[in-house]
């Protein structure tokens, strides 16, 4: 375990690592920038999904399944990341992730078939999945565990900025390009960010634990770890799962234009961007478990309203739903990091996130799309809210104790 030992003059003794939050703010911001481009690459198809459906003649179910292709690739990459990170440093993995995602996006811009698009999405998942375990491991090594809430909250600015900017980026680029041109442009940006980090970036100059049967078995024998997988799945479903299908829902069920849908969805992510800073303080002050409980109870209830309120009230729900949902991730990853040994954190993040993203970010959107094809789009959105609410009720009704140590 790294320790922060400071002399009377405030200097770090030789051989020790300064784990202060402020000193490593710049490296954390650099990692957040990498994560931002990584996340935009995975969700940029959502605000363009109606154009993609029309161009490639896809059904709602087929459109939703495209996000399942991403999560399958993401799953494989996350599970395999432990083997890679035991041989190369997390820094190398982070650089590889950004460049590979960029190349996959450029490849998608040339596709003319649903199969080619699905393959490209799968490859994006492969590249994107390599980042998260290395990013989380790098940040939790950089700062003291008492500051994890704030450090991870800054890191979680990335997906929230992505949620905010992706709809506007799509609409702005649509002024000059088709959806293929948008994919290619973001691919070039992803490659450029990876190169910049390779030259100027810091952090992650260490390898992870080598996966083996015993370490993996120990994780899955840990009841708290299994519960965290369930909670992560719900957290991802309430954010990414809803976001990916929301523009299509607004166009198909509420008769919004694509531009209006993307504008409202994008604007609804401004307040969560502010709330993420408060979320970091809340996690450090009240604890990750309490934070997650109330996030799920409130967010689940609001999500249920998607399938209930009339179209003229849907904008209110759109703005309220993500406000607290974003607090889950700094709390979730802080809680996940606290229930496993330091040397196993990259494995825990890899396996938990792989399964959770497959469920919350892949199976949930696919299920929504399939239900939409049979006329049950509103019910599908509300059912996601019921699932999220169940996670909050689980934490509220079951107290920490034997078999439930979260």
Ranges 4-13, 216-225, 371-380: which has the least confidence: 4-13
As a whole number of angstroms, the distance between CA 207 and CA 134 comes to 9
Task: Report the chain's mean pLDDT, rounded to a whole number.
Answer: 81
Q: What is the pLDDT of residues 129-172, one digit of tens each?
A: 888 878 877 777 777 666 666 777 777 778 878 888 888 888 88
Higher pLDDT, 67 or 233: 233
What integer pLDDT is reported at residue 297 of this predicted model? Answer: 92
What integer pLDDT is reported at residue 145 of this predicted model? Answer: 63
How many CB atoms are located within 10 Å of the residue 380 CB? 23
Domain annotation for the chain: domains and CATH numbers: 25-397 (1.20.1250.20)
CB–CB of 241/361 below 8 Å?
Answer: yes
Q: What is the pLDDT of residues 246-290, one digit of tens each?
A: 888 998 888 888 888 888 988 888 888 778 777 777 777 777 788
CB–CB of 273/157 below 8 Å?
Answer: yes
The pLDDT of residue 42 is above 70? yes
What integer pLDDT is reported at residue 1 of this predicted model? Answer: 36
Q: What is the pLDDT of residues 59-115, one digit of tens each?
A: 888 888 888 888 889 888 877 777 777 777 878 888 889 999 999 999 998 888 888
The pLDDT of residue 182 is above 80? yes
* CA angle centred on 160, ends 263 and 395, rounded to 5°: 120
Higher pLDDT, 264 or 25: 264
DSSP-derived 3-state class of residue 392: helix
Tallying the residues shown for the chain, one arrives at 406
As a whole number of angstroms, the distance between CA 91 and CA 97 comes to 10
Q: What is the pLDDT of residues 295-343, one digit of tens each?
A: 899 999 999 999 898 888 899 999 998 888 877 877 887 788 777 776 6
What integer pLDDT is reported at residue 18 of this predicted model? Answer: 45
Q: What is the pTM of this model?
A: 0.74
């Amino acid at each position: 375990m790294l320790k922060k030992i400071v002399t009377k003059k405030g200097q770090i003794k030789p051989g020790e690592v300064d784990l202060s939050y402020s000193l490593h703010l710049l490296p954390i911001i650099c990692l957040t920038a990498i994560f931002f481009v990584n996340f935009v690459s995975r969700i940029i198809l959502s605000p363009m999904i109606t154009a993609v459906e029309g161009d490639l003649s896809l059904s709602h179910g087929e459109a939703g399944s495209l996000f399942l292709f991403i999560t399958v690739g993401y799953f494989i990459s996350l599970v395999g990341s432990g083997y890679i990170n035991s041989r190369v440093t997390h820094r190398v993995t982070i650089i590889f992730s950004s460049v590979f995602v960029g190349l996959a996006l450029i490849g998608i811009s040339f596709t003319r078939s649903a199969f080619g698009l699905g393959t490209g999405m799968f490859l994006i998942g492969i590249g994107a999945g390599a980042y998260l375990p290395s990013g989380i491991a790098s940040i939790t090594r950089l700062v003291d565990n008492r500051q994890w809430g704030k450090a991870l909250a800054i890191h979680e600015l990335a997906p929230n900025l992505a949620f905010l900017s992706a709809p506007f980026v799509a609409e702005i680029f649509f002024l000059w390009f088709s959806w293929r041109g948008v994919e290619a442009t973001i691919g070039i940006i992803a490659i450029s960010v990876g190169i910049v980090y390779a030259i100027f970036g810091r952090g992650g100059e260490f390898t992870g634990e080598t996966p083996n049967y015993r370490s993996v078995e120990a994780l899955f024998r840990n009841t708290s770890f299994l519960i965290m997988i369930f909670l992560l799945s719900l957290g991802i479903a309430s954010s990414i799962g809803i976001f990916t299908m929301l523009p299509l829902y607004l166009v198909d069920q509420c008769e919004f234009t694509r531009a209006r849908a993307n504008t409202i969805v994008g604007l609804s992510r401004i307040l969560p961007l502010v709330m993420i800073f408060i979320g970091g303080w809340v996690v450090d002050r009240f604890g990750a478990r309490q934070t997650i409980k109330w996030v799920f109870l409130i967010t689940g209830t609001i999500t249920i309203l998607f399938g209930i309120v009339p179209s003229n009230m849907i904008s209110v729900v759109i703005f309220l739903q993500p406000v607290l949902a974003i607090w889950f991730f700094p709390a979730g990853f802080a809680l996940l990091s606290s229930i496993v040994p330091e040397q196993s954190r990259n494995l825990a993040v890899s396996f938990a996130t792989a399964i959770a993203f497959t469920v919350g970010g892949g199976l949930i959107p696919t299920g929504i799309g399939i239900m939409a094809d049979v006329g049950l789009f509103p019910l599908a959105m509300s059912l996601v809210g019921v699932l999220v609410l169940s996670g909050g009720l689980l934490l509220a009704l079951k107290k920490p104790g034997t078999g439930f140590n979260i």
